[in-house]
Every structure is written in structure tokens, then in C-alpha cells.
Amino acid sequence: MTRMSTVESYQERMTRVLVHIQGRLDEPLPLEELAGVACFSPYHFHRIFRGMVGESVKEHVRRLRLERAAQRLKQSSQPVTEIAFDAGYAPSGGGPPLDVRIERFDGMRVAFIRHVGSYDSVGAAWGRLMGWAWPKGLFGPHARMVGIVHDDTEITPPEKLRYDAAITVGPGIGPEGEVGIQQLEPGEYGVALHKGPYDGLGETYARMCGEWLPASGRELRSAPALEFYLNSPQTTPPAELLTRICLPLE
């Protein structure tokens, strides 16, 4: 399949979702239903929707409901919205083109501490993990610091978001107290470098899903996104922080 036909396929699938939502504004519109309409994996559907449409599902539905109410107030016979999804509809991220590369990762064995709650407060988990790992000499030249991002802020309440603060370890390290061990399976990922504060990561995710993914000819698989932190927020100005965002590919 050519890149152009892949882009058109993504746009056609997203158009089906937009039409589906428009005709069911008074219904609950569960995630699984919308993802099924578009034939996207529920795991990453919201990121793809936000990247292509320019707003979250929740924001889109709220806006259409408000527009419908405004139309009714004006007693207008015009439709609430017209669904037009052409190549120019997807929002541009602005600035230079996003550089995304496909990389294959070997399996990784990691020690981790699970954080449940807002992503803004994952620092405490990292502090505890470092306090455990440092005396064991685990911060060697080959150690990698990775965030395992299980949930999407668009659909999971802040108090239930799951995030694992993790460090790669060898086979001689086992679980201990709140520190668990898990194996990250090998596979291909779409990888982009985010430069800047961590609170801007969401915009890079949106650009990856809305600009790069439809043109890539690839689909996302149902697995967590990974974030590799290349420098430390303790010693690096926020504008200079470097994070490799990795989206799992089929």
C-alpha cells in the first residue's frame, strides 16, 4: 500500500468516526465502540483521534453539543457541522517537520516502581527507584531510564493513571519490596525525540499520531508507549530536556 493510500485510509476511517459521533450526540459513545468504527486499536485510539482531529474525543463531543444547542437557539435549519476530511484537515504541528524513525528494540528486562495517579507526580516514584538502585551500582554506562506509559489522560481519570518508573537490569537482579521486575518484549517502534519540558510531551504524541502515523503505512499495537529519558531533570534546564518517545508498531 502506498503512503498516499495509507493516508487516505486513515482519513476515511476517522471520517467514519466523526460521522458516527455526529449522529449519536445524545448517546454515551464508549471508547471501544468508537475505536471499532474506525478499526483502530482501543489502546491508542484517543492519541490518534487527537493527533488527526486536533482535539480530544471529549472536547470534540462537547463542542458539537454546544454547537447544536446554539443552532437550536437560533432556530437555524443549517446542520450542526459538515464532515469534511481531506489532506488539509489534519492540524499542522508548526515548526520543522517531525522526525520519526522506525527502530527495532530487543527485549529489555527492567526493575520498576509503579506509580498510580497524575503523571505530574511521577517524580516520587523515580526518587524511590533511584534510592533503591544507586546502592546496588545499577547506574552503569549501559543502564537506560525508561517510563512505561500505560494509560491515556484523555480516557483515564488522573487518580487511576498507571506509569512505571523503570531502569534496565540484568538477570541477577530480582524483585524487592515495591520494586518489581518485568520484561519488555522486542518489537518495532516509531521513535521521535522530544526536546523541552515533560509537560509538552502530549503535543509530540499528538503530532506523531496525527502527522506521522497516517503517512507511515503502519498501525499501533496494543502495548504501552515508552519514554527514554536522555538527561536528568535534576541537572538540566527544562528547555534542554531530551526524551525519546516510542510508539509500539504492529
Shortest CA distance to 207 belongs to which of 89, 67, 72, 93?
A: 93
Domain coverage including residue 55: 3-73
Q: What are 162-209's pLDDT values in tens digits?
A: 999 999 999 999 999 999 999 999 999 999 999 999 999 989 998 999
Does the pLDDT at position 90 exceed 50?
Answer: no
Strands (E), 117-178: 145-149, 162-168
pTM to 2 decimal places = 0.77
Cα–Cα distance for residue pair 235/203, rounded to 1 Å? 24
- Whats the size of the chain, residue-wise? 250
Shortest CA distance to 204 belongs to which of 217, 213, 62, 4?
A: 213
Q: Are 131 and 66 contained in the same domain?
A: no
Bridge partners of residue 147, in order along the sequence: 165, 227
Calculate the average pLDDT of the chain. 87
Does the pLDDT at position 76 exceed 80?
Answer: no
**C-alpha cell read off for 5:** 493510500
Residue found under cell 512505561:
148
Cα–Cα distance for residue pair 197/18, rounded to 1 Å? 32
pLDDT for 148: 96
Interior CA angle at 68 toward 63 and 74, to 5°? 125
Domain count, the chain: 2
What are residue 200's phi and psi, to 5 degrees?
-100, 0
Q: What is the CATH number of the domain that holds 53?
A: 1.10.10
Radius of gyration in angstroms for the set of CA atoms belonging to the chain, rounded to a whole number: 20
DSSP-assigned letter for residue 211: I
Q: Give the containing element (helix H, strand E) for 50.
A: helix 45-53
Q: What is the mean pLDDT of residues 6-25?
A: 90
pLDDT for 71: 65
Q: What is the mean pLDDT of residues 3-8?
A: 75
Is residue 225 one of the residues assigned to a domain?
yes
Interior CA angle at 177 toward 171 and 182, to 5°? 40
Is residue 68 one of the residues assigned to a domain?
yes
Q: 158 near 118, Cβ under 8 Å?
A: yes
Q: What is the mean pLDDT of residues 51-57?
A: 90
Does the pLDDT at position 214 exceed 80?
Answer: yes
Q: What are 121-144's pLDDT values in tens digits?
A: 999 999 999 999 999 999 888 899
Q: Are 113 and 234 contained in the same domain?
A: yes
Q: Are 29 and 104 contained in the same domain?
A: no
Is residue 79 one of the residues assigned to a domain?
no
Is residue 83 one of the residues assigned to a domain?
no
Does the pLDDT at position 62 exceed 90?
Answer: no
pLDDT-wise least confident of 66-70, 87-91, 128-132: 87-91
pLDDT band at 117 (very low <50, low <70, confident <90, very high): very high
pLDDT for 134: 94
pLDDT for 73: 55
Q: Are 189 and 230 contained in the same domain?
A: yes
Shortest CA distance to 19 belongs to which of 38, 32, 43?
A: 38
Q: 217 near 6, Cβ under 8 Å?
A: yes
Q: Are 69 and 104 contained in the same domain?
A: no
